[in-house]
Amino acid sequence: MSNGLRALLRGAIDYAGLFPPAGLDMASAVSNYASYRDGTHAWALGRFVVPASRIAEFESAAAGLLPPAPSPSAWRVAALLGADPAADIRALGELNCRHAAEGEGAVAADVVEGKADSVEGVERLLGQVPSYLQGYVEVPIAGDPALLVAAISRAGGKAKVRTGGITPDAFPKAADLVRFIRACLSVKVPFKATAGLHHPLRADYRLTYEPDSVRGTMFGFLNLFLATAFMTDGLDDRQAGLLLEERDGDSIRFDDSGVDWKGRRLGLDAIRRSREAGIVSFGSCSFTEPIGDLESLGLL
């Protein structure tokens, strides 16, 4: 594996096995996460994603799998806020207090994610997030999200974008996704993506794991991370749209000093800057599928 790929995808895959299309039970999802943390490709693993309403169930399922406390490698949790964000945040604070009492703790909820479709909604949501949590706000992108992203910036939050789902109409247009990325980069708001990013490259895939699943055109996580990285380095929106829709894996070449795409070059420092200032991670209900596809492409 090249240093270029590692820089682009280190800690990038937030494991969301509880959610469709995988839809695993808590015990299975937690067991998987523990296994991935101990596996060869743990370098690419991010947070465990769980509804805040199920945090007690998560804690119970994880009890026998957590590292001994105090731990320099605590499990990190991203919790999805529900209808009562204040109650959810209290529950997360109690989780953190229980484990902080044991030193650094074996698990910590340090990210919360919610949704808003108005400036007032962004301000209301992030106004409830305490300083020990990082708040992400998922915003719609069919229209120009610039005002919403600017509100996220003022409130010290980060953004979130939905890049697909289990039906074809859940996938945004490439131009809308480019506009969202540009809005985030313009006001220095890092973001994460979720849904429909199981595979590295743009192509037509089954949208669920059912044998008779509908097929649709999905974005590739490599396309998204590279488009963000090159945009951070000055790529214009038209070229970024072409990169989001790139299907030819041979046009992307990683090595130990960076990555090339059709004559354009990014070094390791530029890639790392894009992860800090641009795209943070993507949520996936599978960890093995993205990793397996990277192996099939000869990148791992």
Q: What is the pLDDT of residues 120-155, one digit of tens each?
A: 999 999 999 999 999 999 999 999 999 999 999 999
> 134-138 and 279-284 as β-strands: parallel, antiparallel, unpaired?
unpaired
pLDDT at 280: 98
Does 298 fall in a domain? no
Percentage of residues in the chain having pLDDT higher than 90: 87
Q: What is the pLDDT of residues 196-211, one digit of tens each?
A: 999 999 999 988 888 8
Average pLDDT over residues 87-109: 83
Residue 288 lies inside a defined structural domain of this protein: yes
pLDDT of amino acid 138: 98
Which residues make beta-bridge pairs with 279? 191
DSSP state of 97: H
Which band of pLDDT confidence, cut at 50, 70 and 90, is reported for residue 104?
low
Indicate whether 299 belongs to any domain: no
Q: What is the pLDDT of residue 99?
A: 80
Contact predicate 282/14, CB 8 Å: yes
| Distance between CA atoms of residues 240 and 110, nearest Å | 31
Q: pLDDT for 208-258, tens place per residue?
A: 888 888 898 999 999 999 999 999 999 999 999 999 999 999 999 999 999
- In tens, the pLDDT along 32-62 reads 999 999 999 999 999 999 999 999 999 999 9
CA distance 17 to 135: 21
Cβ–Cβ < 8 Å for 167, 237? no
Residues 259 and 249: their CA atoms lie apart, in Å, by 12
Could you give the residue ranges of the DSSP H alpha helices within the chain? 3-9, 26-37, 55-62, 85-100, 119-126, 146-154, 174-186, 221-232, 237-244, 268-277, 288-296
Q: Note whether residue 33 is domain-resident.
A: yes
Which pLDDT value is given to residue 49?
A: 98
CATH no. for residue 220? 3.20.20
Which strands sit side by side in the sheet containing 264-267, from one edge to the other?
Answer: 252-255, 258-261, 264-267
CA torsion angle 59 65 71 75 (round to 10) = -60
Range of 51's domain? 3-293
Give the mean pLDDT of the chain.
Answer: 94
Report the number of distinct structural domains present in the chain.
Answer: 1
